[in-house]
Structure 1
Amino acid sequence: MTITSERPELSSLAQQYADEGFVLVKGLLSKEEAAYYRQRSHDLLAQLNRNDDPTWKSAMGLSDGATRLQHLHDAQFYDAEFAKLLVDPRFTDVAAAVMGVDNVQLHHTKLFVKPPENGSPFPLHQDHPFFPHKYHRVGAAIFHFDDAPEEKGCVRVIPGSHKDGPREHSPEGSFHLLEPSFDAATPQPAEAGDVLFFTYLTVHGSGVNTSNEPRTTWLIQYRDPADPPTVKTHDHSLGQGMMLRGVDPTGRSAV
């Protein structure tokens, strides 16, 4: 479901998120802001000279040849401009509204750049197996710093898939879903400045970037601090437990 460029009532966002498991908020950042963060993203990756490629082995079946992907965990610890975006009320108010809570806590962030012509896809999956929580009040926000049409490998989702709860993923350890097929997912093309919010139970993935331009996104995973993890994982992520909105009523902080 796509929201209009003027910021909608948060209750409307929350209802659509509850019904479909995701909501695409148009123009949360201005075009100028998106371009600014796009440049900082590429400068940061060049500065740090990270050569590791996080492409999933299970992604090989979605492409005719080898693909590439650039990424960086915890960009906010390398550039303060990303830290500002983490606590921007335009983001945190929506995150709180769609989860139906007052308090929003950081889990982790990842910066992704899909290079042109062969930017790696992501097979369909839920985020739940990577960091399961007791009450499933965990979500993600994908900030688009440049346009992401279908040919750039935009995100795809299965609307309403969150209602079925956790699903059985591949036993190979790559956590991709054996079904439904990738083509069954609905593309969510986005423009620079748009932000896609979805639950960690929503089935999603993304295609290959076959265009002649990179696709630049920043993923923020967040949670209700009152929702405890059932498995201790991702504890390597810097800043996990940081409050982005409100307070932590548990005093648990990073776990």
Structure 2
Amino acid sequence: MTITQGTTDLPALASQYAEQGFVLVKGLLSKEEAAAYRATSHALLERLNRDDDPTWQSAMGMSGGRTRLQHLHDAQFYDAAFSRLLVDPRFTDVAAAVMGVEDVQLHHTKLFVKPPENGSPFPLHQDYPFFPHKYHRVGAAIFHFDDAPEEKGCVRVIPGSHLGGPREHDPEGSFHLPDVPFDDAVPQPAEAGDVLFFTYLTVHGSGVNVSNEPRTTWLVQYRDPSDPPTVKTHDHSLGQGMMLRGVDPTGRSGA
């Protein structure tokens, strides 16, 4: 399911999201903006020279060999360009619409680069077990800073999977869902500037990047500030509780 930005009817988008658990918004950023963010992302990772690899151990069986992944938490604390994007109404208005709320609060962000030829996959999972909330009004937006066709290991989703609520995960395998066949998930190839929105109950994952180019994305996890967490996690995430749209009616901030 895709919706072209510029002709978006937000209620229609919200209806589609409620039914399918996700929506791919085309061209939320211009090609020029996406290219600038791609350059900023790669320069930032090179400057910080982080060598930790967040590849899940359970991803090894998906690739048949060793894969690699670059990442960075809280990019908005290293470059103001990401701070501006966090509060861009093009993003926050869609996030509010799909959650059916007025107020949008930051949970955390992660910058990902899947290197060419062996960029790490992600097994199918829900985001729910990593940071569960009482009412499940938690979502994600994946900003694509370059093209992400299937050969680059694009995101895959299982439409409607959010309707079943939280699932039992394998805590020994990075919370992946071993009983859900990866091939059941529908690829969501995207172009630079597209943004994929989905609820944290939507089953999703991604394949190996076997292309000769990197895949660059920025993940923003957000929530309704009126939805309290049931487990306090991601305490290390800088800026958790920052209001991206509206106000926090609870006064909890990052709690």
TM-score, normalized by length of structure 2?
A: 0.99
Q: Which moved more, 1:1-10 or 1:159-168?
A: 1-10
Equivalent residues in 2 for 1:23-172, closer than 5 Å: 23-172=23-172
Q: 1:158 & 1:91 partners in 2: Cα distance?
A: 23
Q: 2:100 & 2:51 partners in 1: Cα distance?
A: 39
Q: Deviations over 1:42-74 (max 9, x none)?
A: 000000000000000000111021000000000
Give the deviation of 1:5 after TM superposition. 4.5
Q: Which moved more, 1:132-141 or 1:173-182?
A: 173-182
Q: 1:88 & 1:120 partners in 2: Cα distance?
A: 30
Give the 3-state SS of the residue equivalent to 1:172 in structure 2. Answer: helix
Q: 1:183 & 1:50 partners in 2: Cα distance?
A: 33
Q: For residue 187 of structure 2, what is the amino acid of its counterpart?
A: P
Give the deviation of 1:6 after TM superposition. 2.9
Give the deviation of 1:7 after TM superposition. 3.5
Give 1:188's aligned residue: 188
Q: For residue 222 of structure 1, what is the amino acid of its counterpart?
A: Y
Give 1:218's aligned residue: 218
Q: 2:161 & 2:231 partners in 1: Cα distance?
A: 23
Give the deviation of 1:107 after TM superposition. 0.1
Give 1:2's aligned residue: 2
Give 1:202's aligned residue: 202
Answering whether residue 235 of structure 2 is matched by residue 235 of structure 1, we say: yes
Give the deviation of 1:4 after TM superposition. 2.4
> In 1, are the aligned partners of 2:68 and 2:114 still within 8 Å (CA)?
yes
**When the two structures are aligned, how many residues end up with a matched partner?**
255
Residue segments in structure 2 that go unaligned for 5+ positions in a row: none
Equivalent residues in 2 for 1:172-183, closer than 5 Å: 172=172, 174-183=174-183
Q: Which moved more, 1:175-184 or 1:39-48?
A: 175-184
- What CA RMSD, in Å, does the superposition of the two structures yield over aligned residues? 0.7
> In 1, are the aligned partners of 2:58 and 2:173 still within 8 Å (CA)?
no
TM-score, normalized by length of structure 1?
A: 0.99
Residue segments in structure 1 that go unaligned for 5+ positions in a row: none
> In 1, are the aligned partners of 2:28 and 2:90 still within 8 Å (CA)?
yes
Q: Deviations over 1:164-183 (max 9, x none)?
A: 00000113151000121111
Moved over 6 A (4+): none
Q: 1:7 & 1:239 partners in 2: Cα distance?
A: 32
Q: 2:27 & 2:173 partners in 1: Cα distance?
A: 36
Identity of counterpart residues, as a percentage? 84
Q: 2:197 & 2:134 partners in 1: Cα distance?
A: 20
Q: Which moved more, 1:177-186 or 1:82-91?
A: 177-186
Give the 3-state SS of the residue equivalent to 2:172 in structure 1. Answer: coil
Q: 1:9 & 1:216 partners in 2: Cα distance?
A: 28
Q: Which moved more, 1:37-46 or 1:176-185?
A: 176-185
